Structures are given as structure tokens and as C-alpha cells.
Amino acid sequence: MKSKYLLVMLVGLLSTALLLAGCGGTDKKTSAPAAEKTKVAFVYVGPVGDAGWSYAHDQGRKYLMEKMPDVQTTIIESVPEGADSERVITQLAEQGHKIIFTTSFGYMDPTINVSKKYPNVVFMHCSGFKTAPNVGTYFGRIYQARYLSGIVAGKATKSNVIGYVAAHPIPEVIRGINAFTLGVRSVNPDAKVKVIWTNTWYDPAKEKQAGLSLLDAGADVIAQHQDTPGPQQAAEERGKFSIGYNTDMSKMAPKAVLTSAVWNWGPYYVNVVDAVKKGTWKSEQYWGPMKDNIVGLAPYGPMVTEETKKAVEDAKQKILSGQWDVFTGPIKDQSGAIRIAEGTKMSDQDMLQFNWFVEGVEGTIAK
Amino acid sequence: MSDSTLVISILAAAITAGTPILYAALGELLTERAGILNLGVEGIMLIGAVSGFIIAVVTGNSWFGLAAAMFAGGAIALIHAVLTVTLRANQVVSGLALTLFGTGLSGYLGKSYIGIPVPSPFTIQPLGFLTDIPVLGPVLFRHDILVYASYGLVVFLWLFLYRTRPGLFLRALGENPAAADSLGSNVFALRYLYIVLGGMLCGVGGAYLSLAYAPSWLENMTAGRGWIAVALVIFALWNPWRALVGSYLFGGIDALGFHLQVSGVTVSPFFLNMLPYLFTILVLVFVMIRQHGRLTAPGALGLPYDREER
């Protein structure tokens, strides 16, 4: 009997030790002296280790730490959207954080709810549309980067079939596919973009499988919207090309990745924290254009030609000028009917509600 | 693409996607045959995936990674063995705890290994003349070495279970441990052995994901495959051959869905994702009706064994 208790204690001790070791990793980030440092918190929907969405935000946080050494940051990872997040955000506000970045769409209502109780805390919600005097929203026009990456894909394809591994059928993903396709067809009007929905944000094996299916169907360039490099690896394995998303994915598929459409949150985080410290911050809905460097292209792979780079640079200048944007007419839908008249720019409102594909996309939007 | 090449590529994709599930299911099958239910498969797979990946990156050799995955999987399963065999803890609770523990620990261990490629992942090695066999050749013999090894493992486990004395004892262990005990089997030692072996195979299943299928480490990269493996063992009625068929069936559902999408047929992915579990329920219903309510599950599955109570 005695040995049994000893065993229980041993197992208990071991697991406690492991748990403590586990917590040690996150504690480090908050252990700096809190004297007069500005406390900033980040709430992430995934693990920082997703190498995608939350990872990109965390790169932004690291940039902030580097640029503003008097800022102390706290991160909370893998916070489920909904009631749990409200509790987490409340706790962060309670702990004296001056600025709280909530980085997923589903944190919208929780952020608004908590903000009412803490009027002296600034809340910044990523990708939503609800604001309050102390709540601002922010997002980036990643579709502009996707358009440029489409040019690279359109120039690289030989079969004129490009595969797009799509996540969930929501306006943001549809907008990305459309912008990408317009980019492809601006340099290669014969090319088609085939879409497969995985209905996942995060399943590397399944997303790779979707990529392989597109390659089987004759695609020779693969683009994607999910947070894992699965589709990139499919292209690498078959000796084809790919376009990454979120962060530079070239490390995972060096022979395949032509470029990636990437987020660059760092400079924006610095601006926000700086404005709050100076007292110039005010609530706004920020949908950052490429001009602000919040979105862009990762460095090109060695296989990308000078001619392609030139075509991308020309389009980039057009976008940066502000005179022209990706969804400027004439733009036709899949049936060939003109949806945006010549010379008209699609409004932000319409862009945020995208529910149709442009001409050149092969695929359907599940209702 | 012609119809036959389409069928071949769907079947070949089904095998690749099914292999991590197959390894985990065979591991769980072995454990359940010994009368122990281990719901920690998902967590053990993750531990296998991360430790295999780390060692493969550090040593530059994926075989060392594979060995590490087996070792780590076995070590985690050993916790389950201590809890359920020696301490006679509730097997469901212990297994669930292992899944939670494995998910957390793998995320912690793998933190600094994200976004790093595997130096020498297991790659596709066509098996020479065998690939020339029409249809079967390209479907079965254009894979990596771990897939070939899994074919062998199924044959081996089937022979072991139904054609050898130790296999007979293993079945007795799950069926009626008291009887096995009176025949001179060391119930406790053997249950430890099969739980650890089962954990090692689950570890291989995880390492297949991180070293061959999607060679990289990402937190929670198994994405529920461990649970599919648990369902699959029931679907397979504790038989290795049916586990093989089931794995490819479950693995092939995604491939089929994607190819349907490409050819313009839309089937709801939610419906497809539901199919593995629906199949499992149907098999259960079918078996219960045909065998008059006597499931072919090991009779003592999930029950702790106490010599003094026999």
C-alpha cells in the first residue's frame, strides 16, 4: 500500500514540475520590472506557433518591444472566441494594461463589452467593425498584396491553371481569391484559378492534400489562405510553384515559393502605442493600405524573373499612388456580366461583403 | 486527366492520408486487445510528432527522429500503464488527461522549432518493378518507406494475434484476464508491455505527420486524427486488416471531397467530415443486430484487473 502512495506522489510531483516548467516560458515575458513601463497586452486566437496568423501578430509585438524598450508586453495565446475571451480581456484590463490588442474577429463583442467597464484603457480590435470612444479597429488591405502575388503566379504558370486552397467561404477569403485572380489575369488573360475549400484555418495535412488534388487537376502554381504551409509543401513535393500567405513561407518550401503575401503589423503597433503615450490616440476604423507598409510581398524566390519583378513593381506603384485600386472596373463576374463599371472603384462597404467570384475563378461559394 | 488516373490519384492519396491514422489505430488496437482503453492517442501522437521532429532537426537524421518518437510515445503511454494497471485508475479519465497533457507539452517543447524544415524528411521511393502493376502498382508502391512498413505491420499483427501463442495470450488478456492469469500469464507485466508498444505506434503515427506527410512542426498538427484512430479501432472490430481498410477509407474521404470539388461537384465538407463517425456508428449498429448484442470487443476492455477480486 505504501508503495502505491509513493507512486501517486511521484507522478504528482513529476506533472507539477512539468507544469511549472511549462508556465516558466510565458512568465518570462511579464517578469520585467513594472515601474513606469507602459503595459501592452495581446490576445491571440491561435498558438504563437501556428507559423501563420497569430505568429505574424507576435512578430509585430516583438518589433514593438525592439523599437520601444519602455513597453512591457503580455501575451495570451489560444483564447477561444466568445465568453472565454471576455474573461481574459477583463483580466488584462484589471491587471493595469494600458493598451489591449485583440487580434481575432470573434473578439469583437467581448472587446466592446469590456471596454465599457474600463474607459481609461485603449482597446484595439483586429478585423472587426464595431468601435467605441476607447475602442478602435484595425486591419490591412492584404488584397493589394494578393493582387501583386497574382501577377507573380500569372507569369510563372505554364499550364495556365493555378490552384487556390481556400479556407472558409467568408468575404475576406473571397476578396483575396478575387484580388489574386485579377492579378493573375492582368498579365495572363488565359489563366484560370481553380478553388478548393478546405473549411479549415489550421490542418496542415488536410491542406496539403487539397494542394495535391489541385496539382492532380493540372495546376502548376498553388496559392492559399490557411495558416499552415501544407499547400506549399504539396507544390514543393511535386516540383511546382507556390504563393505563401501570412508570413514568408519560403523556408518550408524553398524550391516552390515564388513569394508570399505577408502581414507586417510591427510598425502599426508602434504607431498606436506611441499615439496613446502622447495622448493623441483617438478611436478610428483603420483599414491600412500597402502605402502604410502593413501588408506587402515577402522576398522573391530565385526563380522569379526580372520581367515579373518589373510587372509587380509597376502595379505596386499604381496602387501606392492611390489613384487606382485592385477592384477598379471594369470587372466581370463568373457569368461574364459586368459587376463594376469602367472607372468605378468598389466601395469599402461592398468589399467587406464580397459574395461573388470574378471572371477567371473556377469554383463555387458554398452557401 | 482521365478517369483511371483520377481514381489512382485518389486511392494513392487515401493511403498517404490514412497512414498516420493506421499507425495510431494499430497501436490502440494492441492496447485495447490487452483490455486497456487509451484515449490519450491524440496527445501521444502529438508528443511523437514533436519529439521526432526535434531529434530529426538536431541530428539531421529522420531515422533518429523516428526512434525518438517511438521512445517518447512509449514513455507517455507508460504513465497510462502506471495509472491504469498498477493504480487501477479510471482508464477514460487517465486517457483524456494524457491527451490534454500531450497537447500542452508538445506545444511547449516545439515552441522554438516552428517554421523550420526537416533536413531529410522521408520522401517518396517508388518500389521499382512493382509500380508497373496496373492500377495497384501506382496506388500501393509509390510511397515513402513508412507506408511500406505499415503494410508489413498489418500482416505481422494479424499473424501475431491469430496464429501465435503470445497472440492468443494477448487476446485472453483483454477477454478474460483472470483466465489468462490462471494459465500462467503475468497480466500486469503483459499489460504494461502492450500499453507501451501501443504508445510507440501512436508515436510513429505522429512522427509520420511531422517527418513525412507535412514535414514540419506546428502546434496541434494532428488536428483530431488521434480521435479518428480511436473510433477506427471500434469500426475495425479490433482486427488489423479492417483497421487498414478503415484507415484508407477515412483518409480517402478528404481526397475524394477535394477531387469532387475540382471536377465541379459540390458535396458539403461538413457532411464528408462527419462520415468517419457515421460509418463507425453504422458498423456498431450492424454488428449489434447481427450478433445479437454481443460486440466483439475484448470482454474485459476498460476494466481494471485485481488479483484479489477474481
Calculate the alpha carbon distances from B162 to A10, B96, B155, B169 in Å: 39, 31, 11, 10
Whether B11 is in a domain gets the answer yes
- Which residues of chain B fall below pLDDT 50? none
The CATH number of whichever domain residue B14 belongs to comes to 1.10.3470
CATH 3.40.50.2300 residue ranges of chain A are 37-140, 142-262+296-362
* Residue B120 burial class via C-beta count within 10 angstroms: exposed 0-12, middle 13-18, buried 19 and up: middle
Amino acid at A246: N
Q: Degrees (nearest 5) of the Cα angle B295, B299, B301?
A: 105
Residue B292: the pLDDT is 66
Whether B218 is in a domain gets the answer yes
Whether B307 is in a domain gets the answer no
Residue A22: the pLDDT is 41
Topology of the domain comprising A142-262+296-362: Rossmann fold (3.40.50)
Tens digits of per-residue pLDDT, B12-62? 999 999 999 999 999 999 999 999 999 999 999 999 999 999 999 999 999
Domain region containing B254: 3-293
Residue A367: the pLDDT is 65
Residue A124: the pLDDT is 97
How far is C-alpha A100 from the chain's CA centre? Answer: 18
Chain B touched by A1 (CB under 8 Å):
no
Task: With beta carbons under 8 A apart, name residues in chain B contacting A197.
Answer: 261, 269
Whether B300 is in a domain gets the answer no
Residue B307: the pLDDT is 79
Tens digits of per-residue pLDDT, A95-142? 999 999 999 988 999 999 999 999 999 999 998 889 999 999 999 999
- Count: domains in chain B: 1
In CATH terms, the superfamily for domain A37-140 is: Response regulator (3.40.50.2300)
- Which residues of chain A fall below pLDDT 50? 1-2, 6-7, 9-10, 13, 16-34
Q: Considering only residues 2 to 41 of chain A, which have any Cβ-Cβ distance to chain B shorter than 8 Å? A: 4, 7-8, 11, 15, 18, 21-22, 25
Omega before residue A330 within 30° of 0, cis: yes
User: How far is A282 from chain B, CA to nearest CA, in Å?
Assistant: 36
Calculate the alpha carbon distances from B278 to B250, B281, B283 in Å: 11, 5, 9
Q: Are B277 and B231 in contact (CB under 8 A)?
A: yes
Q: Taking CB atoms and an 8 Å limit, are A22 and B20 in contact across chains?
A: no
User: How many helices (H) and strands (E) in chain B?
Assistant: 12, 0
Whether B149 is in a domain gets the answer yes
Whether B72 is in a domain gets the answer yes
Count of CB atoms situated within 10 Å of the CB of A199: 17
Residue A32: the pLDDT is 45
For residue B254, give the chain A residue with the closest CA: A206
CB-based contacts of A236: which residues, under 8 Å, 6+ apart?
Answer: A242, A252, A253, A254, A255, A256
Run of H or E residues at A15: helix A2-27
